[in-house]
Chain A
């Protein structure tokens, strides 16, 4: 395997691990704690609305990371394929 391929794959793995951390971020669990039984009223609703927004933005960021990881993976494949073509 080409060193560049190895580097790209390492980056891919790191970005994927980061995406998994985004998936498991504790902010995503706050909504279950901030129920109406705990806090109710317009401001509490605003808090929950913000949490919902955070959830979506973090989910989007995780998807973006996976997309970028796939691109790194693709680039790694491309680099490896080019190396094979040169060797042949």
Chain B
């Protein structure tokens, strides 16, 4: 055996030609004399071996354009060359069974099932390389066709999907293109011109394939672009008469693509924020899917896509883009009529994550509403139009932030308030910002600025406004259901007590933004394990939001040494608010007196409550 693997394309082409000539030559070795029979049989066996084993491989290497189209020639030869004889035979068996399935032979499903179970990773790669992406999709599509042996078919389809883990380079990308082509044919042709499409279901097949961890968001990106293009051109994405049922219906990636392929594919794209942002960078596409298109899935897929593009786990590495997309999303969403009764919990959580991640932008909108309204639509195409923002307490100096028009922020917050989970995620985002602002403000005051009182007053004023805005918006977003409004407002207020697990005391956006992500896992676990108990606990002290915030600032200033507390009091900067509420009444009073009469700054214990009430006042007046 040689020590290396390789081939000469020209040489292999010549070899293939000569081999073909040899087959012809062997075919001509015939004679009817009985004495010649054994030799003729030998010649026929050799011809059969060459014809069925070697000629197809040489042909695949030299003339099969479907293989060369995805650049797999070198890979195929390498993959095949590395196989043992047994695995090479298994690849041949799998290929033969796959071809019979394509020919409509139902019995071949069992053959494929058996042979796929015995493929090792190298043989799996070689099989995929020989089969090619087009036939892969078609075999998969036919496996989804019920014939009474559904368990075997679904198992075989799953085996075939699992093989993607060993797919040769470029295969998955080309599989996406093959899928696009099949569905494009389906969406652009009449039902009668492609009769086979009425028996098979390419959308369910695409959905089934997309559920593979290997495939990724890129698989869906091309598909959704094509589908949206078809929709915008007025073509029917789901013609009547096609086969609705599929074995894949119960094994899909999420939202059923058969019900709404665009929503399903958007949900799949959301799994990769890089791809989501890439898709969002096409403004016409983004405007269509966020502003114009109708959805039947409670906006789950679309909002997951928006969340991924604007608040994905890697948002800190693509902050300017994400800020622009958050600005665009809030603007477009505010322009459409969203029936909150149809909003899914998943979409609510997505909205919550967007606001939580861009909480500084929300704070700016709440503090200076006129800065954010109205937006010039032309500005939405240009990220340089986002004004830099400076908040030294957060360590931000000229950092781009999103712009939420008040109506856009109201809408996103209202969406977030439609689920308990959404409220808690939003609450956590606010908690992180409040804590970071308090710590950052205390740090600034330690640097002996010229205007310490202004810094402290503005920070506490802002904290009150931020809190008041969300209390008002969360509560009033549910006016139609007074009980739900009360409960969720209480949930919002009392969730202020939740300890944020992320890095608190963050002094910059780079730390602040990613802190939202880990919090999500923590909150999910909390909700899963202790939802009822948590809500009950939080409702007990729902009246203390302003007090908690004020104590938060007092704690930060105590820890930084800006304000001093007389020794002997049963109060410390690292105690919880709940413990603080249990200190003896005299200590409680003496503590606030000491805080309010600090030498360096005047701590207004009513600043936050006043700002909070002021922020809520317009809503009460309107009511």
- Residues of A at the B interface (CB closer than 8 Å) are 11, 14-15, 18-19, 21-22, 25-27, 29-30, 33-47, 50, 54, 57-58, 60-62, 64-65, 68-69, 71-72
Q: How far is the CA of A61 from the CA of B54 in the complex (A)?
A: 22
Q: Given that A27-B46, A45-B1 are contacting pairs, would A33 and B15 also be in contact in the complex, using a CB cutoff of 8 Å?
A: yes
Q: Are B15 and A30 in contact (CB under 8 A)?
A: yes
Does B338 belong to the interface (CB within 8 Å)? Answer: no
Extra pairs beyond A44-B7, A62-B39 (7, CB < 8 Å)? A25-B22, A36-B2, A40-B7, A43-B77, A64-B38, A68-B36, A69-B35
A46 touches B46 (CB 8 A): no
Bound-complex Cα distance A59 to B77 (A): 30
Determine the chain A residues whose CB is within 8 A of the CB of B25 once the complex forms: 25-27
Minimum CB–CB distance for A30 against chain B, Å: 6
> A27 touching B6 by the CB < 8 A rule?
no
Number of A-B contacts (CB under 8 A): 124
Per the bound structure, the CA–CA distance linking A29 and B54 in Å amounts to 16
Asked if A18 contacts B2 (CB within 8 A), the reply is no
Q: Which residues of A contact B39 (CB under 8 A)?
A: 18-19, 22, 61-62, 64-65
Label chain A's interface by main secondary structure. helix
Give the residues in chain A near B85, CB-CB below 8 Å: 46
A28 to chain B, nearest CB (A): 9
* Chain A residues with CB below 8 A from B29, complex form: 18, 21-22, 25
CA distance A46 to B1 in the complex (A): 9
A40 to B77 alpha-carbon distance, docked (Å): 10
Chain B residues whose CB sits within 8 angstroms of the CB of A19 once the complex forms: 39
Do residues A42 and B46 form an inter-chain contact, with CB atoms below 8 A? no
Closest to A40 in B: B2
Contact B36 A18 (CB under 8 A): yes
Main secondary structure of the interface of B (DSSP, over half): helix
Complex formed: what's the CA distance from A84 to B524 in Å?
109
Q: Report B-chain residues with C-beta under 8 Å of the C-beta of A42.
A: 1, 5, 81-84
CB–CB A58/B43 < 8 A: yes
Closest CB in chain B relative to A42 CB, distance in Å: 5
The interface bits of chain B over 1-36 (1 if a CB of A lies within 8 angstroms of the residue's CB, else 0) are 110111110011011001101100110110101011
| Complex Cα spacing A3 to B387, Å | 111
Q: Which residues of B contact A14 (CB under 8 A)?
A: 31, 33, 36
Cβ A33 vs Cβ B14 within 8 A:
yes
Complex contacts, A47 vs chain B, CB 8 Å: 54
Given that A61-B42, A64-B38, A72-B35 are known contacts, is A41 also in contact with B4, CB under 8 Å in the complex? yes
Residues of the A chain whose Cβ atoms lie less than 8 Å from the Cβ of B7: 38-41, 44
Q: Contacts A34-B15, A43-B83, A50-B49; is A11 near B6 (CB within 8 Å)? A: no
Complex interface: chain B residues within 8 A of A22 (CB): 29, 39, 43
Q: Is the beta-carbon distance between A33 and B81 smaller than 8 angstroms? A: no
Q: A40 and B50: CB pair below 8 A?
A: no
Contacts of B38 in A (CB 8 A): 61, 64
Max chain A CB contacts within 10 Å: which of B4, B45, B46?
B46
